[in-house]
A and B are shown apart, each in its own frame.
Chain A
Amino acid sequence: MPLNIDGCIEGSYQLIGGNFATAGEASTCLKLKLTELGVAETIIRRASIATFEAEMNVIIYAAAGWLHYYITPHGIKIRIEDMGPGIEDIELAMQEGFSTAPEWVRELGWGAGMGLPNMKKNSDLFKIDTVVGEGTTVEMVINIP
């Protein structure tokens, strides 16, 4: 299927903290959109993993947040802004296996300290801005070669 992206396609989803029941919906919608647009399977897979992990972080740690996506013929840009606690030590948070998730979240199989590393691994550009007590913004770009 040829790539069918005309200009820039954008959209947003609102994320509510603690709402585990709808977790993954934003990522699933984005995945469907990318499939419709004819984006390659490998690119969709990377975008889906990165988005789902970002979505989970908002649900686990923040009160609320937004996920914005911009799709151009050259890539997918995803920005997630949350009103959360912020990250005290980004270097530590980026280490695989480090997590501040509470026990009940770990029992669900989340909070294994793989979220941020998974996001970084699956994106070509990864930027994180955080202010303790205010929130975190993550920007990721997945190139479409």
Chain B
Amino acid sequence: MIGASLSRWTMSYFAAAIVALITALGLMTAGYGYPHAPVDAPPTLIIVHLVAIGWLSLLMCGALFQFVPVLIARPLANEQLPLPALICLLLGLFSLLCGFLWLDGGIDTTLPFFPMAATLLGLGFALVVWGLAHTLLTGRPLPLSARFVAVALAGVALTATLGIIFALVRGGIVAEPHLVDLTVAGVPIHAIAGLGGWLTFAAMGVSYRLLAMFMLAPELDRRGSRLALHLGSCALALAIIGGAVAICLEWSRNLMLLAAGLPGLAALAFYGRDMLHLYRARKRRIIELNARMATFAFASLGLAVMLVIALLALGRLQEQVAAVVFLVAFGWLSGLGLGKLYKIVAFLTWLECYGPVLGKKPTPRVQDLVIEKRAQKWFYLYFIAVWLGTAALLWGRPLVFQTMTLAMLVATLGIVVQLVRIRRLADVKVDDRFPADTRRPALLHAAVQGI
């Protein structure tokens, strides 16, 4: 088979991810976690993991199960893995959140939450990495975008390994001094591995291909693109492996992270130049909402980089790191994710409903499933709220921050309503909606039929 087919469980990953995002935004709006609690307090850790694992990782896993086959033009190697992986990840996340609640005194039982979380999340991510890496191996030599995803899989494996170590130490299972040191001082490395190595690298890889595909731009594999990959990989190796070794050998962790920052910065500069080139070289003059909103996500990434440089120069990075993490997680990763979700849900829903009758009956276009004008205002509100929320964190205004997370929650709900309408085909003209032999797609999973 040349090409890829519909991933049955991608919609389920997306649905679970959206529930996690809405829950996290609801908690932040209610004043739970940072800035009302310290950065390392259990309530903050609950929100951080709801966002990082529940929202961003599930979103990325669901997207990769669908799009890794597209990147390499090969089918998914193990189609039976996504569902057990999803179940393990959800149960593991639930155990982890219970563990943090237990640390906070919110749960009064003696269940081994952290070891359970370590086992289930470890197993879930191992299944994801195995399934995707196995698929990538069938597509060698890998195109550039797939090589970014391969590095991202190494990133998630390292993030999960560090997370498992932290969970076992916190759960009292492990007391080896080096691992205890790593748990105490390794949180920034865990965050860099997760947000940078796993999520940002995967987003970079997917964006190289999807933006070119959706805007009819030439696919890039030039010297600068390869430099972005190699310098970025070098930065991650220095930050994650170098950082962990530095902690264990009692060298300077921060010096190692600073050394990683230079190639990291260069990688992002090359990547930014490539994205700009994709937009300039596109054949589609009028671009869709997802590509327009991606520019706001790229702007957020650029702002985050400038913010890190400015805070480093002012010597205030440590105290303001939460604002940077917020901008990266919600402006860059979530902004790009929500924009692409709007496109991908419409595309996959079209394939599922109308693909089997192609050639037999007249079918609507993917664009007929969406009303971009209606969705656009929610995206604008979302990005403005993220940027003002970042400013509120920087200037220490918790109430303004809560108001902005409320605006983000409202915007997210607005976007989710549009996604449900797409899935229900509610915006397709009634006469064109269900040609004979088609059926309404289920909301939470895809029925793979007729291919």
* Chain A bound to chain B: no
